[in-house]
Structure 1
Amino acid sequence: MVDDIKRNLNRRNLIKTSGVAGITAFAGCISTSDDGGDGGDGGDGGDGGDSGEGAYSIGMVDSLTGSLSAFGERNQRGKDLALGRVNELGINDQELDIIVEDSGSENQGGISAAQKLVNQDSVPFLIGAVGSGVSVAIYESVVQETDVVQLSQNSTGLGLTDFPGLLRMSPTGRAQSLALANIIADDGYDSVAVTYVNNEFGQSLTDAFVDAWDGEVAYNSAHDQEQSSYSSVMSEMNNSGADAWLFITYQAEFTTMVNEAFSSGYEAQFYGADSAQGSGVLEGTPEGSMEGMKITLPSAPIEQENYQEFATAFEEEYGEEPTSWSAYAYDCVINAALAIQAADDFSGSALQETVREVSRPSGEQVSTYEDAHAILAEGGSASDVDYQGVSGPIDFDENGDPVGFLQIVTVEDHEYVDAGFIEG
């Protein structure tokens, strides 16, 4: 099966196969500095300078509660691991402080959190958020008219590409949509039923899938989040006559759908985007209910030495393997630290000049904060550094999108099994 997937992906010129490997599936305000140093000025793009004798303070909007909190937990662990490494060496003899605010996994919650960080804490650099709709809402409502740098840790929706000032560490979901269209077709299906979560993430990935799909779309309908039942959606998908069902939704919603489809005796070949996969789904559904399901998800280049070192440290610290989401959050912190060290001053306008440069191919390739820090400490500029993240080469394009990696997993005996590792 793995060889067939690889061959078919190559044949369709979708994305380049790089190997076979995988990563196991997966409130309030938190200050993560050791000394609680004062935040810097410059959140509005004004003169920031440094943050005083304590630390350089930046912000992070994360999903500590709500439907995307599983991603938030992974983010916090990756962030904490990166922050510890940054503060072992410091930035210009100061520490980095990250003020974390909870979005509640909702657009308005993200806006409120970002407003607090930008307007009250005056952060010039904002990591955020989980959920494409939340990230876009923050950018449009809080960041867009300022010089604040926004770097999303976990947003794959295609709509972010329309905002070049909104950077993201996780890749666009377009590659996922193309991969899913190819995989379903190569499995011999010419008709598909699609349901997607009713937000920017779900709509944009579904639109890209439909554009790439050459067969019939027998059912294509949105569903709202956090509903107690999706029995009508399952019934409509079953009545569509399509034998392939695609789910572009979140873990909690998908878990409910699986249980209702299984209890109704519906039989179909399941496919899913990354957000429908996780340990909570396996724990919340009966064995056999998803057998043979195939899922595409953003991944990290786990054969790289720096990723392996990161994974070892992560497992030693937390007792479990990291996910790609942890790797993205880790790289957001490292990128922010390098941008701060390379900037002329600690202000949004200065960081706008360095945030992209510290990972561009024009510089010397380095794969750790220690090596990148050394180049800058010895008088190097942002353009002298090409940080290669644990999530892969970052190299933001003109739209703020990075190079991306994808993994294909299948469900076998109620476990996620690796079925491909591809670079987009």
Structure 2
Amino acid sequence: MATDSHSQHRRRFLQATGVTLLAGLAGCSGDGDDADQTTDAGTTASGGTKYSIGMADALTGSLSAFGERNQRGKEMALEDVNDVGVKDGTLDIIVEDTQSESQQGVSAAQKLINQNEVPLMIGAVGSGVSTAIHTSVIQDSDVVQISQNSTSPELTKYPDLLRICPGGVGQAKVIAETIAEDGHDSVAIAWVNNDYGQGITDSFTEQFDGEIAYNNPHDQGQSSYSNVITSMNDSGADAWLFVTYQSEFAQMAQEAYDLGVVDAENWYGGDSVRGEVLEQVPEGTINGMKAVEPSAPITEDNYKEFASRFEDEYGDQPTSWATYTYDAVVTAALAIEAADEFTGTALSEVVRDVTRPEGEKVTSYSDAKAILEDGGSPSDVDYQGVSGPIDLDENGDPRPFLQVFTVEDHEFVRSTLKKA
């Protein structure tokens, strides 16, 4: 655990900024086995050290589908890390629920940092939730934050807010290129009214050379989006772009079907429209639609091994989001292994270095740990994750891989892998 001086610093900082713990906060307990509970600060009953970090994840709410994938990736990473250990002990992750909302995300982060005193926190899914956590709780503290899933370009403005998944500028570029390559020169854009929706949309409009015929936000959870669909249709645009979430997009697709204005071969989407959508719309409704999302390097051996294990465990292929969470956990574990002490200050000094291209390329936690145990420095390690080369830059952003999916026979099928 963190030293007493660092713990006191965190408490003083949180009190000074008016942090309060909310009564009745929803969340999960730590993931350690009951038989090996902490008996002293960071010490397990079996005598080893338990290095506890935090995770703010969308276990409930509109982004809970992402949270479920994240938890699966987290569990697989914990298994791999704890098979060989971290320093003289094991890694433990205390999970709190953001409920997919900024206010609850801040409350979750406050609990993890003020009560559990974690020096590193993984979180969150939604870009607005991640930035709210950072600006309200993390910024100017000594805690390291690594977002597992947030893609908004806004996060680049906060260089100490690290993320494993690529930012939205690259995603917007690939969407713009794909729409232009398909011969469209005018676009109607419907985007969810938050940091994610606005960030992707702003980047897209800067990079698309054609006409923006419609460009308006919508709120989450509306009872109907028929006005959005009607306005997009009335705009006369060649192509429609949806930068929204799965439930909102599914409702829009259903209402477009009901209104008889579906032309899905001219429909495009950002990363958050793919997932549990096809089950919610009539079969064949959106055949031909294309969606762009951050992608893992599916041809690499370490990804193939991860995907095979994932399918054996969960009966399904992993999404990119599960790989990002896996790599967030491994990156955190490597930072702990490499740091001189288990404090946020020490972890922040090495967390980027263990992913940078100057080091020896390794594709597993165990191989990276071996370099560090053999006297190697953090910069001697270049961890190549199951989500691809991470290479966290000065803005806390990784190298982007993007995958284009096309709906064929009512299934999203991988079509093109691109680097932004």
Would you call these one fold, judging by a TM-score over 0.5?
yes
Residue of structure 2 aligned with 1:73, choices 68, 82, 89: 68
Residue 104 of structure 2: SS of its match in structure 1?
helix
* Deviation readout 1:214-258 (Å, 9 max, x if unpaired): 111111000001112111111111111113110000000000000
* Deviation readout 1:128-153 (Å, 9 max, x if unpaired): 00011110000000000101000000
Are 2:188 and 1:190 equivalent residues in the alignment? no
Q: Distance in 2 between matches of 1:398 and 1:295?
A: 29
Q: Conserved in 2, the CA contact under 8 Å of 1:81 and 1:330?
A: yes
Q: Conserved in 1, the CA contact under 8 Å of 2:59 and 2:67?
A: yes
Are 2:24 and 1:28 equivalent residues in the alignment? no
Q: Distance in 2 between matches of 1:395 and 1:227?
A: 39
Alpha-carbon offset, residue 36 of structure 1: 3.6
Question: What's the counterpart of residue 389 of structure 1?
Answer: 385
Q: Distance in 2 between matches of 1:333 and 1:78?
A: 9
Q: How does 1:400-411 map to 2 (within 5 A)?
A: 400-411=396-407
Alpha-carbon offset, residue 54 of structure 1: 4.4
Question: What's the counterpart of residue 374 of structure 1?
Answer: 370
Q: Conserved in 2, the CA contact under 8 Å of 1:40 and 1:57?
A: no
Residue 355 of structure 2: SS of its match in structure 1?
coil
Q: Distance in 2 between matches of 1:265 and 1:284?
A: 17
Q: Distance in 2 between matches of 1:37 and 1:83?
A: 17
Query: Cα–Cα, structure 1 residues 261 and 143, in superposed 2: closer, same or farther, change >3 Å?
Result: same
Query: Cα–Cα, structure 1 residues 307 and 124, in superposed 2: closer, same or farther, change >3 Å?
Result: same
Are 2:291 and 1:290 equivalent residues in the alignment? no
Question: What's the counterpart of residue 364 of structure 1?
Answer: 360
Question: What's the counterpart of residue 328 of structure 1?
Answer: 324
Q: Which runs of 5+ in 1 are unaligned?
A: 1-26, 42-51
Q: Distance in 1 between matches of 2:60 and 2:161?
A: 23
Q: Distance in 2 between matches of 1:299 and 1:328?
A: 9
Q: Conserved in 1, the CA contact under 8 Å of 2:391 and 2:399?
A: yes
TM-score by length of 1: 0.89
Alpha-carbon offset, residue 40 of structure 1: 6.2
Alpha-carbon offset, residue 267 of structure 1: 3.2
The one-letter code of the counterpart of 1:148 is V
Q: Which runs of 5+ in 2 are unaligned?
A: 1-25
Over aligned residue pairs, what C-alpha RMSD do you find? 1.5
Alpha-carbon offset, residue 38 of structure 1: 6.6
Q: Distance in 2 between matches of 1:257 and 1:204?
A: 21
Question: What's the counterpart of residue 160 of structure 2?
Answer: 165
Alpha-carbon offset, residue 93 of structure 1: 2.0
Alpha-carbon offset, residue 378 of structure 1: 2.0
Question: What's the counterpart of residue 9 of structure 2?
Answer: none
Q: Conserved in 2, the CA contact under 8 Å of 1:63 and 1:71?
A: yes
TM-score by length of 2: 0.90
The one-letter code of the counterpart of 2:295 is S
* Deviation readout 1:356-415 (Å, 9 max, x if unpaired): 111111211111011111111222221221111111111111100000111001111211
Q: Conserved in 2, the CA contact under 8 Å of 1:198 and 1:224?
A: yes
Question: What's the counterpart of residue 271 of structure 2?
Answer: 274
The one-letter code of the counterpart of 1:287 is E
Q: Distance in 2 between matches of 1:267 and 1:73?
A: 31
The one-letter code of the counterpart of 1:307 is Y
Question: What's the counterpart of residue 58 of structure 1?
Answer: 53
Alpha-carbon offset, residue 53 of structure 1: 4.5
Question: What's the counterpart of residue 15 of structure 2?
Answer: none
Question: What's the counterpart of residue 13 of structure 2?
Answer: none
- Larger relative contact order, structure 1 or 2 (CA cutoff 8 Å, min sep 6): 1
Q: Conserved in 1, the CA contact under 8 Å of 2:48 and 2:88?
A: no
Question: What's the counterpart of residue 16 of structure 2?
Answer: none
Alpha-carbon offset, residue 328 of structure 1: 0.3
Q: Distance in 1 between matches of 2:48 and 2:81?
A: 17
Aligned residues: 388
What percent of counterpart residues are identical?
Answer: 60
